[in-house]
Amino acid sequence: MGRLARLAWASPTSLVGILLLPFFRKRWVTRGIILAEGASWPRRLGWKYRAITFGHIVLALEELDEKTLAHELEHVRQYEKAGILYVPLYLLASLRAVLKGGHYYRDNSFEVAARRAAGSAGRRA
């Protein structure tokens, strides 16, 4: 699948991220995504994660290190494969993890793959 097709396939979810971009202090394009960093309001709402990905938009509470960015870039690749089905598939993966006795986030197969990608980020040449 070509780059334009992958962008289009993930674009409905990217729109959610685009709507949130004005609420972050810094925004730029890097590695084929829009990265926004710097927002304290999600913590006040109880958000406990460093970043979230919506299609080709990565929203981060603070400046991301390479490992966390690699994690989020894996989610971008997952969106490119699943497109608009990403969110329901992610939720099903959480349900599957729980039904197998695991944790909804830590044992979610999407998160396992993202952690694997982040773990190998430092080893890439």
Phi, psi for residue 36 in degrees, rounded to 5: -120, 130
Each residue's pLDDT tens digit, 98-112: 999 999 999 999 999
| pLDDT per position as a tens digit, 3-41 | 899 999 999 999 999 999 999 999 999 999 999 999 989
Q: Give percent of the chain with pLDDT exceeding 70.
A: 95
**Best CA proximity match to 72, nearest among 64, 63, 82, 81:** 64
Report the phi/psi class of residue 61: left, alpha or beta, with left for phi > 0 and alpha for psi in -120 to 50.
alpha
Bridging pattern class, strands 33-37 and 57-60:
parallel
